[in-house]
Amino acid sequence: MRLLFGCDSMLDNRMPYPTRQAKINRRTRETQIQLTLRLDGRGKVQVDSSIPFLDHMLELWTFHGGFDLTLRARGDREVDDHHLVEDLGIALGDAIHLALGTKQGITRYGQFLLPMDEALSYVALDLSGRTSFVYRVKFPRRFRGRFDFDLLEHFFQVLADHARLALHIRLLEGRNAHHIAESLFKGLGRALRQAVERDPRRRGVPSTKGVS
């Protein structure tokens, strides 16, 4: 199978701090995705993935992360949603990685404990450049709705892989599947917002090794 894949980074290195945004164009035989992400945004979002529930989750992630996101995606949903959800995680992870550039002066770590009604999740991450993923979440089986919540684990995993980050997600409480998912996406947005913030006391890469 031949895959066509393209990534364009829009980093302006002439500025003291680069404009941290990236544009992704990903096209395979299964999916077509166009995505633009700006890390230093205002929570502006325009998404159309053809999966309404995932659009809602990405809107929450963008708003609580303080990012700007535009996205349009289509895929072979006549098969199921797996390919499209997977490739959206890949594209978003690639965008995060590209937009961060050299990671000069960032905080690097982020964590957030987020309540959503009866649901409570904990998200912690490290923009280390090394991938690790721990996911301790179980969705209730008594209500599945039109979206397969099991796909979210794979979405977060490929996002962590392509963003080159260590990501830990744990559900501490929760009974309603929609509330649980909201807690995860909001928590990820808040944790990533902390991690990409610029540390005014640091100019270089936030590592004793001197490289990311």
Structural domain boundaries of the chain?
4-196
In tens, the pLDDT along 127-179 reads 999 999 999 999 987 555 689 999 999 999 999 999 999 999 999 999 999 99
List the beta strands (DSSP E) in the chain: 4-9, 21-27, 31-38, 45-48, 68-75, 109-116, 119-126, 132-136, 166-173
pTM value is 0.87
Indicate the range of 53-67, 97-111, 127-141, 193-207 predicted with least confidence: 193-207
Residue with token string 């409480």 = 173
Instruction: Determine how many CB atoms are found less than 10 A away from the CB of residue 123.
Output: 24
CATH, range 4-196? 3.30.230.40
Percentage of the chain with pLDDT > 90? 76
Q: What is the 3-state secondary structure (H, E, C) of 61-112?
A: HHHHHCCEEEEEEEECCCCCCHHHHHHHHHHHHHHHHHHHCCCCCECCEEEE
